[in-house]
């Protein structure tokens, strides 16, 4: 007779331990422990020119997005890069006066930036996305 209560108790203890393990796995899953880190980077590209417009070249790797494209400034583009992308943003100030600036912001932080004043009329922001 004593075998039944001890066997039932053992089964209940095993079920309790399995239940705790499942709850722990569920909590860890919801916390993102099992999710691989993202390789996407949210980016903002910015060009400012005191002349009101600029000519930009923008490419990612070998893919040309803009080539000698005229934009009014301040110009801003929201995009997503992948880790390891080669990003090139250049701007020229055809007005011939004032200042010119390019900036690449990754995940809310300035990653690349260059600013020049006349007589310099070109800026470049480029690099491999970390």
58 lies in the same domain as 120: yes
**Predicted structure pTM score:** 0.72
Verify cis geometry, omega within 30 degrees of 0, for the bond prior to 70. Answer: no
Pair (5, 59) in one structural domain? no
Residue in this structure with the two tokens 């690349």, named with its chain if needed: 112
Question: What is the extent of the structural domain holding 59?
Answer: 40-128
Joined together, the tokens standing for residue 94 give 């055809």
> Which of 28, 25, 45, 58 shows the shortest CA–CA distance to 106?
45
Separation CA 66–CA 4 (nearest Å): 78
Whether residue 90 sits in one domain with residue 62: yes
**What gap in Å lies between CA 36 and CA 96, rounded to an integer?**
49
Q: What's the pLDDT score for residue 47? A: 97
- pLDDT value of residue 33: 82
- As averages over each run of 10 residues, the pLDDT of the chain (130 residues) reads 74 93 92 81 95 94 93 95 96 89 96 93 95
In the structure encoding, which two tokens stand for residue 66, read together? 């803009």
Do 55 and 85 lie in one domain? The reply is yes
pLDDT confidence of residue 3: 63
pLDDT at 23: 94
The predicted structure's pLDDT at residue 2:
56
Identify whether residues 22 and 58 lie together within a single domain: no
């Amino acid at each position: 007779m004593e075998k039944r209560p001890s066997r039932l108790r053992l089964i209940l203890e095993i079920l309790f331990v399995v239940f705790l393990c499942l709850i722990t796995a569920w909590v860890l899953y919801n916390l993102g422990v099992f999710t691989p880190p993202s390789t996407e980077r949210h980016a903002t590209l910015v060009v400012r020119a005191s002349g009101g417009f600029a000519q930009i070249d923008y490419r990612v790797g070998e893919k040309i997005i803009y080539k000698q494209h005229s934009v009014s400034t301040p110009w801003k583009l929201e995009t997503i890069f992948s880790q390891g992308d080669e990003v090139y943003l250049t701007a020229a100030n055809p007005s011939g006066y004032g200042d010119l600036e390019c900036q690449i912001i990754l995940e809310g932080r300035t990653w690349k930036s260059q600013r020049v004043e006349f007589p310099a009329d070109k800026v470049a922001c480029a690099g491999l996305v970390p």
